[in-house]
Amino acid sequence: MDFKKNEKGLTLIEVLVSIVILSMVLLTTMSFFPQMGLVNKQNQDKTQAINIAKEVLINWQESSDVKWFLVKSDRVTGFTSTDPKVTYNAFTYDSNYYYFDATKDIYNVKIKIKKSPETSSRLSSVNYILVQMLNKKNNNVVSETFGYVKR
C-alpha cells in the first residue's frame, strides 16, 4: 500500500495522452500555413496587376497617338500606334466606345475609351478610359482602373 502514495513520476498513459493532444494542436495550426501562402500569392498577383494597369493607363493617357486618334477618330477607321509604350492586338468599336485588346506580361489587357468627350464644362476635352487586367488562364478580371485621356 505504500507504493500507491508515492506518485512522483508520470505513467506511460499520461505521456501518450499528452503527445496525442500536442499532435492534434500542432496539426491544426500547421494547416493554416499553406492557406496563408495561397492568400499571399493571390495578393501578390493582384498587386502586380494593379501596378501594370496603372502603368498601361498612364502610357495611354500620355500617348500622342491616342490623343491624335481621339481627335481624328470620326475620319479614321482603325488605330495604328507608333508609340512603343502603346501596344495592342485588336481594335473594335461600337456607337459609344473604342475597344482595344492587348497583352502585358502575364495578363490580357482590355482598354475601353468612350467616343464622346465628357459633357461637363470643366471636362469638355477628356475621354473616359477603362483599363482591365484579365488572367490569361481563365480570362477573369484581376484588376481594373480608370481615368481620362485629355485630347
Write down the domain spans for the chain: 39-150
Neighbours of 113 (CB within 10 A): 22
DSSP state of 106: T
Q: What is the pLDDT of residue 122?
A: 66
Outline where 1-151 has alpha helix (H).
Answer: 2-5, 12-30, 32-62, 64-72
Q: What is the pLDDT of residue 26?
A: 93
**Does residue 19 sit in helix, strand or coil?**
helix
What backbone phi and psi angles, to 5 degrees, belong to 150?
Answer: -85, 130
Contact (CB, 8 A) for 13 and 21: no
Q: What is the pLDDT of residue 115?
A: 85
61-81 pLDDT tens trace: 998 888 888 887 666 666 777
This prediction has a pTM of 0.72
Q: What is the pLDDT of residue 76?
A: 63
Q: What is the pLDDT of residue 143?
A: 93
Q: What is the pLDDT of residue 17?
A: 92
Task: Using 70 as the pLDDT threshold, list the residues of the chain that sit under it.
Answer: 1-9, 73-78, 120-124
